A = this chain, B = another copy of it.
């Protein structure tokens, strides 16, 4: 076995133990090659709701304005009716608010995460029981 693998073993042995297991569900709805809806877009919608603009939302997520704008644009294009409304503004765009569709997406997506975890509680308990404490 290569030395690098042994080095990795040593590193792992110093990792902190006895941390509680955390379970995280991620749902993605794809259409062809495009991820129409996933955790990134939902977090971005929540940040837009909180901060009132795409630029402030992008900053809060440590994301470039361009990437945030493209994600919102891709999301809105995939929807029958847009999830956000942008007001005209300065260089980085003006304010941006969620539409009722945007609010529904956030609510339904977060419901899915909670409900999935509740529905699978038994299997999750069996899986975490296989892990070292």
Contacts and interface: CB of A to CB of B under 8 A. Distances in A.
B116 A29 contact: no
A16 interface: yes
Interface string A55-67: 0000000000010
Contacts of A14: none
A84 B95 CA distance: 54
A85 interface: no
Contacts of A9: 73
Nearest to A25: B27
A9 B70 CA distance: 9
Given A8-B70, A26-B26, A30-B24, A123 B115 contact: yes
Contact of A123 (B22, B32, B111, B128): B111
A24 B23 contact: no
A124 B37 CA distance: 11
A132 B110 CA distance: 21
Nearest to A133: B80
Given A5-B66, A24-B30, A104-B126, 6 more contacts: A15-B34, A21-B29, A79-B130, A112-B124, A112-B127, A116-B119
